[in-house]
């Protein structure tokens, strides 16, 4: 039968989805299941890995049933997943030996302190692109080997396997035939050397992790085995961690391409090309999605703790608005602000300031400042924070930025997008289809299947609006300097 569709499996922290895309990149059908969260102790977050594979297969069956699509019409499957979450399972039974430890989980902070005491900080940063933090998989894997009785011996005897969620799904979908991961997921484990593109012996030794339990790492767009669905073999041809998949889905496979996801927090990635860079500003270096027969590109990654969350604060704590969407009308209804800044350091100041003790502040209040002005200053803070991170990325990479591709809930705000373009002096490009993470996984799978080419995906990702800078350079500089002053006054010391 003619291959008409690509399916994306989008396994996120709170939900698991299956999405069918047609050749134009349009969504034919989506099915979603909420994922049960387990909080056994304060600071601990777990998922049941068996729930994850069950939900994924159920979501897939549901979209197939609803659409009546024949499995032989599917060219391939692409997987995108919550990153860093760690699973260890028995090679013979396929059963996890512990619940999956989720990226948010903080239980391994003491292990991180031990690694720092061993003097590994610089080595880890230069070779994995990451900082030593409980966020990444390595210390979660060590914790399981330390805490589950007999597990280290079993791992040494080759009986246990480790994987991030992509590896776990591939293993189960291929009935235990494939134990694989891709460059983008491997680069979030803190045990993968992104310079040599191999598991890092020195870090593995420091954590006493046997290399026999690690998956083979390959290109994000390559052959990960088949899912046999109702007697039909469907190849899995794409795999990527969610943020890198979003960059790819935004057409960000070339150096100089950046994307920002404006969600509760903001996630920024800049493709910096094939040269490995170490950030001087506390940003992470990570591997972007890779394609067969091409050298992988690196990306700098930065996040903003409080993005859309500050709009929720306006709504829920200050009662200045009823709905996030109102902020756009309010921003447009008043003249440009003069020297009013809200620095939403509600969780400290992140990149490039790294001041955990800082608290949020409002600067420049005068008698004429009211609800609308405060709302507008909160929206604008998202754009200023984005510029701070992008400036840090540009300083680290010494390159320039071609355009900023945007997605996430708050990217719907036209005032914010125009202001972002003005403050950055860069074009801001919003796609028609905001499901860029799933689309990225579909692109990877579709390229390997010959369904799309790297060139044709440019057309598949359709632009909805291009915001071009209209602010004068003088106004831009004055406003941004005002912001930098406000940040300076917000620092804890």
Supply the DSSP string of 35-52, one letter for each residue: PPPB--STT--EE-HHHH
One of 124, 311, 343, 390 touching ligand ADP (CB under 6 A): 311
Q: What is the rounded distance in angstroms from the CA atom of residue 493 to the CA atom of residue 490?
A: 9
157 CB neighbour count, 10 Å cutoff: 11
For ligand ADP, the closer CB: 270 or 406: 406
Within 117-156, the residues that bind ligand ADP by CB under 6 A are: none
One of 121, 126, 328, 355 touching ligand ADP (CB under 6 A): 328
Q: What is the rounded distance in angstroms from the CA atom of residue 373 to the CA atom of residue 37?
A: 39
Helix (H) or strand (E) holding 163: strand 160-164
Backbone angles phi, psi at 86, to 5 degrees: -115, 130
Helix (H) or strand (E) holding 474: helix 473-490
One of 170, 239, 410, 438 touching ligand ADP (CB under 6 A): 410
Q: How far is the CB of 412 from ligand ADP (least distance, A)?
A: 5
Q: What is the rounded distance in angstroms from the CA atom of residue 129 to the CA atom of residue 279?
A: 8
Q: How far is the CB of 411 from ligand ADP (least distance, A)?
A: 8
Count residues binding ligand ADP (CB under 6 A): 15
Q: What is the rounded distance in angstroms from the CA atom of residue 488 to the CA atom of residue 493?
A: 9
Stretch that binds ligand ADP, among 51-59, 92-100, 325-333, 358-366 (CB under 6 A): 325-333
Q: Does 309 bind ligand ADP (CB under 6 A)?
A: yes
Structure tokens at 427: 């074009």
Q: How far from chain centre, in Å, is Cα 141?
A: 21
Q: How far is the CB of 263 from ligand ADP (least distance, A)?
A: 3
For ligand ADP, the closer CB: 189 or 420: 420
Q: Is 335 exposed, middle or buried (0-12, 13-18, 19+ CB in 10 A)?
A: exposed
One of 225, 235, 263, 282 touching ligand ADP (CB under 6 A): 263
One of 325, 339, 458, 459 touching ligand ADP (CB under 6 A): 325
Stretch that binds ligand ADP, among 98-106, 107-115, 132-140, 403-411 (CB under 6 A): 403-411
Structure tokens at 165: 């969620």
Within 269-308, the residues that bind ligand ADP by CB under 6 A are: 308
- What is the x/- site pattern for ligand ADP, positions 411-430, by CB under 6 A? -xx-----------------
User: Using CB under 6 A as the criterion, which residues of the chain lie in contact with ligand ADP when the complex forms?
Assistant: 263-264, 308-309, 311-312, 324-325, 327-328, 408-410, 412-413
């Amino acid at each position: 039968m003619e291959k008409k569709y690509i399916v994306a499996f989008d396994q996120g922290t709170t939900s698991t989805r299956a999405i069918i895309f047609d050749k134009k990149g349009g969504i034919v059908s989506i099915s979603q299941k909420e994922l049960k969260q387990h909080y056994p102790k304060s600071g601990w977050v777990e998922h049941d890995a068996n729930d994850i594979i069950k939900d994924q297969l159920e979501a897939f069956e549901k979209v197939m049933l609803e659409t009546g699509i024949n499995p032989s019409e599917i060219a391939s499957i692409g997987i995108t997943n919550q990153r860093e979450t760690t699973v260890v399972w028995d090679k013979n039974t396929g059963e996890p030996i512990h619940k999956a430890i989720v990226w948010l989980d903080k239980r391994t902070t003491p292990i991180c302190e031990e690694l720092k005491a061993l003097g590994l900080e610089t080595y880890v940063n230069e070779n994995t692109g990451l900082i030593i933090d409980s966020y990444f998989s390595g210390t979660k894997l060590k914790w399981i080997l330390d805490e589950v009785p007999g597990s280290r011996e079993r791992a040494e005897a080759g009986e246990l396997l480790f994987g991030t969620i992509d590896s776990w799904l591939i293993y189960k979908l291929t009935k235990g035939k494939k134990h694989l991961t891709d460059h983008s997921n491997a680069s979030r484990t803190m045990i993968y050397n992104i310079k040599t593109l191999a598991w890092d012996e020195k870090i593995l030794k420091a954590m006493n992790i046997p290399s026999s339990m690690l998956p083979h790492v390959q290109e994000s767009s390559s052959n990960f085995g088949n899912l046999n669905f109702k007697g039909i073999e469907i190849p899995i041809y794409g795999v990527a961690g969610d943020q890198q998949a979003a960059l790819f889905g935004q057409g960000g496979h070339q150096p100089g391409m950046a994307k920002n996801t404006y969600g509760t927090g903001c996630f920024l990635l800049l493709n910096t090309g094939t040269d490995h860079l170490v950030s001087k500003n506390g940003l992470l270096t990570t591997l972007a999605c890779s394609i067969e027969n091409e050298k992988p590109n690196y990306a700098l990654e930065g996040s903003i703790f409080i993005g859309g969350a500050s709009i929720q604060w306006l709504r829920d704590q200050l009662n200045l608005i009823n709905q996030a969407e109102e902020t756009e009308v309010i921003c447009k209804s008043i003249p440009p602000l003069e020297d009013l800044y809200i620095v939403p350091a509600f969780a400290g100041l992140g990149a490039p300031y790294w001041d955990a003790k800082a608290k949020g502040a409002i600067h420049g209040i005068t008698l004429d400042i009211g609800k609308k002005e405060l709302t507008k200053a909160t929206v604008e803070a998202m754009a200023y924070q984005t510029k701070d991170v992008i400036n840090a990325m540009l300083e680290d990479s010494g390159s320039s930025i071609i355009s900023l591709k945007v997605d996430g809930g708050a990217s719907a705000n036209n005032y914010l997008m125009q202001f972002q373009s003005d403050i950055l002096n860069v074009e801001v490009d919003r796609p028609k289809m905001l499901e860029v993470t799933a689309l990225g996984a579909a692109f990877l799978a579709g390229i390997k299947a010959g369904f799309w080419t790297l060139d044709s995906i440019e057309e598949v990702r359709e632009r909805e609006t291009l915001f071009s800078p209209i602010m004068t350079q003088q106004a831009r500089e004055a406003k941004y300097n005002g912001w930098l002053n406000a940040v300076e006054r917000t620092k804890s010391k």
